[in-house]
Amino acid sequence: MSFPKCDMRAVALAAVLATGVLAIFGGDAFAQEDPLETGSGEIGGAPEAVGLGEFDETLLPTACNVTAEDLPDDGGGSIQVTWEPLEARGTDIGILAYEILRYAPGEEPSSLGEVPPTDTGYTDTEAEDGVPYQYVVRTKTPLGSTDSEPSEAAVATAQWVAMGRLSILIMAVLFCGAVLYYIRRARVGDELFVRKIPGLEAVDDAVGRATEMGRPVLFVPGIETVSEVGTLAALTILGHVAKRVARHGTPLDVPCADPIVMTTAQEIVKQAYTEIGRPDDYDPARVAYLTYDQFGYTAGVDGMMLRDRPEAVFLVGTFYAESLILAETGHSIGAIQIAGTKETSQLPFFVAACDYTLIGEELFAASSYLSREPVMLGSLKGQDLAKLWIVYFILLAFVVGTIGYIARPDGSSLLTKVFDVMHSWFG
């Protein structure tokens, strides 16, 4: 962020020097020109420096309607400052930056820093709780600076409950309640139906085919870190795939783009081989780190595909622009490909290039589906119930909003107000 500011200052400085030189050596031709009437914000220099005589500072742009209020839903120590830019009347004087000044009782005003001219807000994260602060926004231009009116005093406080997240809390409680209810039902032995997911049904076939052909299985867990939920889902699937692979004695390659993912994947694969009773077959070199670099990783995995010719390729996890490059390379070697991601922008690529695709929630359901443990399946059932509630809610909002609009198109009906509340709470 500092580069543009430096550039603008450099431009202003150069302009000051240039106008000074022209004023000295350029004669009357330049001196008679009023920079405020040229319409160019590029003409810099303080008015007195270029000998413009009387200068009307009210023509400079300034910040107005400066407000300061405690940052909501935070742990204290922060005040949010906002303002509106007021452009110079009849001129086109560019703004270099806004400087934020803070006034505390009994203290000298202090500068908190500068923000680019495109910003209309600043968060003071160094405020002391309980102290009233006022703020002034200084607008800096090549022709000078103007100060706004001071804001009303604001006090930073810490909140115990983030009220802005109350709707999320309510939804989370309802959702978790549904999941826990079905997990409990599964524990007491209720039969739970879960629809077939073709991509997961094909896992055994893919591993079996690789075994028959005597070729390896390639598992690509995406390019994100282990803190990404898509990567976690991929690692849970890896555990199931590794067990099947270990049972058949098929080689399994897991190239990783993150060292923590690599370490976790190594442990998962090792455990799978141990559980199957073939710990000696586990080769840690096959679960390897390639690189953090997105396209370096892509090139590495592509190279593995072309050299080793795996018969089954799993592209499961979080992918971005590399998704199609990997999937098309896998397609070109004739491998059976099972892909899965929650990234909606990459799903079409996987659908086009892979044999099976786990779409969004199917990726997260995979571990439960493959394990077939009733308790895990119970959580899927709870998830479905929550989805049903969301569908009902959307339908209800649709009906209420539509009837409200038909009844009174100006938006004054009770139903429209109810719709607005629903929208603001859950929208």
Stretch 88-127 residues interacting with other proteins (CB under 8 A): none
d(CA 268, CA 277): 14
263 binds other proteins (CB under 8 A): yes
| Residue 102: φ, ψ to 5° | -115, 135
For residues 376 and 367, the answer to whether their CB atoms sit within 8 Å is yes
Which of 23, 359, 415, 418 lies at the binding interface for other proteins (CB under 8 A)?
A: 359
Q: How far is the CB of 49 from other proteins (least distance, A)?
A: 33
179 binds other proteins (CB under 8 A): yes
Q: Which stretch binds other proteins (CB under 8 A): 4-12, 55-63, 116-124, 254-262?
A: 254-262
Hey, which residues between 291 and 320 contact other proteins (CB under 8 A)? 291, 293-296, 298-299, 307
169 binds other proteins (CB under 8 A): yes
276 binds other proteins (CB under 8 A): no
Q: Is 104 exposed, middle or buried (0-12, 13-18, 19+ CB in 10 A)?
A: middle
365 binds other proteins (CB under 8 A): yes
289 binds other proteins (CB under 8 A): yes
271 binds other proteins (CB under 8 A): yes
357 binds other proteins (CB under 8 A): no
H-type alpha helices, 165-293: 166-187, 198-213, 229-248, 259-276
Q: Looking at residue 94, what DSSP letter applies?
A: P
Q: Which of 286, 126, 96, 313 is nearest to 202 (CA)?
A: 313
Q: What's CA 250's distance to the chain center, in Å?
A: 38
Q: How far is the CB of 347 from other proteins (least distance, A)?
A: 7
177 binds other proteins (CB under 8 A): no
Q: How far is the CB of 291 from other proteins (least distance, A)?
A: 8
Task: State how beta strands 217-222 and 312-318 pair.
Answer: parallel
69 binds other proteins (CB under 8 A): no
Integer CA distances (angstroms), 349 to 326, 353, 360, 400, in order: 10, 6, 14, 38
- CA neighbours within 13 Å on the CB side: how many for 60? 21
Contacts of 417 (CB under 8 A, 6+ apart): 404
Hey, which residues between 328 and 347 contact other proteins (CB under 8 A)? 328, 342, 344, 347
d(CA 363, CA 366): 5
Q: Which of 81, 369, 9 is nearest to 204 (CA)?
A: 369
422 binds other proteins (CB under 8 A): no
Using DSSP, state whether 100 is helix, strand or coil.
strand
> Residue length, the chain?
427
Q: How far is the CB of 315 from other proteins (least distance, A)?
A: 14
H-type alpha helices, 66-188: 166-187
d(CA 326, CA 305): 9
167 binds other proteins (CB under 8 A): no
172 binds other proteins (CB under 8 A): yes
Between 115 and 268, CB nearer to other proteins: 268
262 binds other proteins (CB under 8 A): yes
Q: By rule CB under 8 A, what string of x and - marks binding of each residue 374-393 to other proteins? A: -xx--xx-xx--xx--x---
132 binds other proteins (CB under 8 A): no
Hey, which residues between 147 and 166 contact other proteins (CB under 8 A)? 158-162, 165
Q: How far is the CB of 354 from other proteins (least distance, A)?
A: 10
For residues 116 and 5, the answer to whether their CB atoms sit within 8 Å is yes
Which of 49, 229, 397, 418 lies at the binding interface for other proteins (CB under 8 A)?
A: 229
349 binds other proteins (CB under 8 A): yes
Q: Which stretch binds other proteins (CB under 8 A): 9-17, 79-87, 117-125, 251-259?
A: 251-259
| Residue 68: φ, ψ to 5° | -135, 130
3 binds other proteins (CB under 8 A): no
Between 262 and 276, CB nearer to other proteins: 262
Between 38 and 125, CB nearer to other proteins: 125
- Dmax of the chain from CA atoms? 97
Integer CA distances (angstroms), 51 to 27, 29, 195, 223, in order: 12, 13, 82, 61
Hey, which residues between 8 and 27 contact other proteins (CB under 8 A)? none
174 binds other proteins (CB under 8 A): no
227 binds other proteins (CB under 8 A): yes
Which of 264, 318, 337, 416 lies at the binding interface for other proteins (CB under 8 A)?
A: 264
Q: How far is the CB of 321 from other proteins (least distance, A)?
A: 6
